[in-house]
Amino acid sequence: MKGAIDGLNESVLKQFTPRPGRRPLLPELSEKAQVALMCRMLFHEGWNDHIAGHITFRLPDGNVLTNPWELAWDEVTASDILTLDPAGRVIDGEWNVTPALGLHLRLHEARPDISVVIHNHAHWSGIWANLHRVPPAYDQSSAYVDGPLPLYSEYAGTFDGEDPVAAAVNALGDAKWALLANHGALVVGQNLRQAHLRAITLEWRSRRAYEVELAGGGVPLTDEQVAAIALPDANGFPFLWEAMARRELRRSPDVLD
Mean pLDDT of 49-63: 96
Q: Give the lowest-confidence range in 24-33, 86-95, 139-148, 231-240.
A: 231-240
Q: Centre a 10 Å sphere on the Cβ of residue 55 and count the other Cβ atoms it contains.
A: 26
Q: Mean pLDDT for the chain? A: 90
d(CA 108, CA 104): 6
Beta sheet of 54-58, edge-to-edge order: 90-92, 82-84, 64-66, 54-58, 116-120, 184-189, 177-180, 151-152
pLDDT for the residue 100: 86
Q: With 50 as the cut, is the pLDDT of residue 226 above it? A: yes
- Tens-place pLDDT, residues 155-168: 876 555 568 888 88
Fold of the CATH domain 30-256: L-fuculose-1-phosphate Aldolase (3.40.225)
The DSSP symbol for 51 reads T
- For residue 112, whether the previous peptide bond is cis, meaning omega lies within 30 degrees of 0, is no
The residues pairing with 126 across neighbouring beta strands, listed in sequence order, are: none
With a pLDDT cut of 70, the percent of the chain lying above it is 90
pLDDT for the residue 8: 42
Length of the chain, please?
257
> What phi, psi does 243 have (nearest 5°)?
-65, -45
> What phi, psi does 109 have (nearest 5°)?
-70, -40
* Burial class of residue 105 in the structure, from the number of CB atoms within 10 Å of its CB (0-12 exposed, 13-18 middle, 19+ buried): buried
> What phi, psi does 201 have (nearest 5°)?
-65, -40
pLDDT for the residue 155: 84
pLDDT for the residue 161: 58
Whole-structure pTM value: 0.90
- Tens-place pLDDT, residues 70-110: 999 999 999 999 999 999 999 999 999 988 899 999 999 99
Mean pLDDT of 225-254: 90
Q: With 60 as the cut, is the pLDDT of residue 190 above it? A: yes
Q: Which residues of 188-223 are buried (b: 16+ CB within 10 A; e: fewer)?
A: bbbbbbbbbbbbbbbbbbbbbbbebeeeeeeebbee
More confident residue, 237 or 193: 193
